[in-house]
Structure 1
Amino acid sequence: MNAYLKIDHIDKDFERAGTRTEVLKDVTLTIDKGEFVSIIGHSGCGKSTLLNLIAGLTRVSSGAVLLENVEVNAPGPERAVVFQNHSLLPWLTVYENVNLAVNKVFAGRKSKAEKQDWVMRNLDLVQMAHARDKRPAEISGGMKQRVGIARALAMEPKILLLDEPFGALDALTRAHLQDAVMEIHARLGNTMIMITHDVDEAVLLSDRIVMMTNGPAAKIGEVLDVPIPRPRDRIALASDRTYLKSREAVLKFLYERHRFVEAAE
């Protein structure tokens, strides 16, 4: 059976001022439909570069990214990205920011009434329907990220790509948004790939955690299955043996990699 998403022997190099830097080397990974996969590793290991390759924002140097057996070589609405910076247009309301994406993706496919209903349905999904007429400056950072997620989901993507979406938020807001993402994943059953530095976040949200080696020429060091039943409760998991074992495995991998870098310096 063909994989839903296949990252097939990817290499990625960047060249600047005649100097070539090998960022990723021979990265191979398959992701099933409906999976939640986190990618974790130290700074400079190419996590965001890998996400950009999947999004089609950057071209591979060699190898291929295949979504449903079709090669990815450009951006497309079937791969929506939520960045750490929400990227909302400040002069538009919450509704208008989401509607902008809906109009672009569903032009000629949905009526005006259908598009309006679809915008509100996605705002409701992230509990932001009440703020539809507010502008970004009038809402909190966490609320802005909810709108960013709603905008991405409104494009009805096959894969939702999350690039450290909660990194700039305070701990409590971050926890609420993690719970919201888990609920959305449970309701929609969509495929999600998230970049994170947060071990607890990765274990809480993921079906699998992809651990990257240090750059340059980073590759996949280990892939950890997280066999914790869903739905997941963060309070109950605090003393769950499987959660603690998974957390320990990721921390051990990252610590060993950090120690290796220090020894080489």
Structure 2
Amino acid sequence: MEIQKLVAQIKRKKSFLCVGLDTDLEKIPPHLLQEEDPIFSFNKAIIDATHEFCVAYKPNIAFYEAYGLDGWKSLEKTMAYLNDKYPEQFTIADAKRGDIGNTSTRYAKAFFETLNFDAITVAPYMGKDSVEPFTAFENKHTIVLALTSNEGAYDFQTKIVEGTELYKTVLRTTTTYTNADRLMYVVGATKASYLKEIREIVPNSFLLVPGVGAQGGSLEEVCQYGMTQEIGLLVNSSRGIIYASDSTDFASAAGAKAKALQQAMEAQLKMYL
């Protein structure tokens, strides 16, 4: 997907919400376990209930790999449904892949071509030759892990190396890679105060921001420090939306949560744009 189409959708829907499809058979409503494909049945209902309030979906690949071939089939069906019925939605494979050369190329082909995702999350620890195979794909986007929302982020990402924090080195270095205009970055909402300095390094790149909702991140702070004239944000909520209810009303409950976030985002758009 061209980035302009994503921006146009954000402005039309007045939303920069990304819904994380972290579908766990141990958490979905029990009545769905009787379905032929419980994961896809759950995803389909969530998508149908939330699509008008969001601009992106982000399946976390671990929740599908965990179920082997059945999980991959559910993922394939979910992507086929999204691309067929809601082609305007930006789709992100939250796979956090990171390897070199041919291996990264094969990962890219798997998610960009076979499954037809628009974007994939990538770990940059192995450097340029682990990222550039992904950015070689036209109209596809590579989302580099920069400053994540988990507690262990402080183990490495904020350490001072040669006078600067490691995450800043990641940002500065990756902007020199081939097709760097196809890069986005993961910045956790629980690190919102860092966004001002991050924007000094990547002023125009889209940021994928997890951590609003269940992890306690502030939407207002994310917008204050991270929003650009082209919005430049995709704020993800997973558990807070998809597990809003564990009963037969799970889809409508998810829709209500997504709508509430969309309305909060609309208010922020009015304030900052």
TM-score between both structures, scaled by the size of structure 2: 0.39
Larger radius of gyration: 1
Structure with the larger RCO, 1 or 2 (CA within 8 Å, 6+ apart): 1
The two structures have a TM-score, normalised by structure 1, of: 0.39
Higher strand share: 1
Q: Could you say which structure has the higher helix fraction?
A: 2
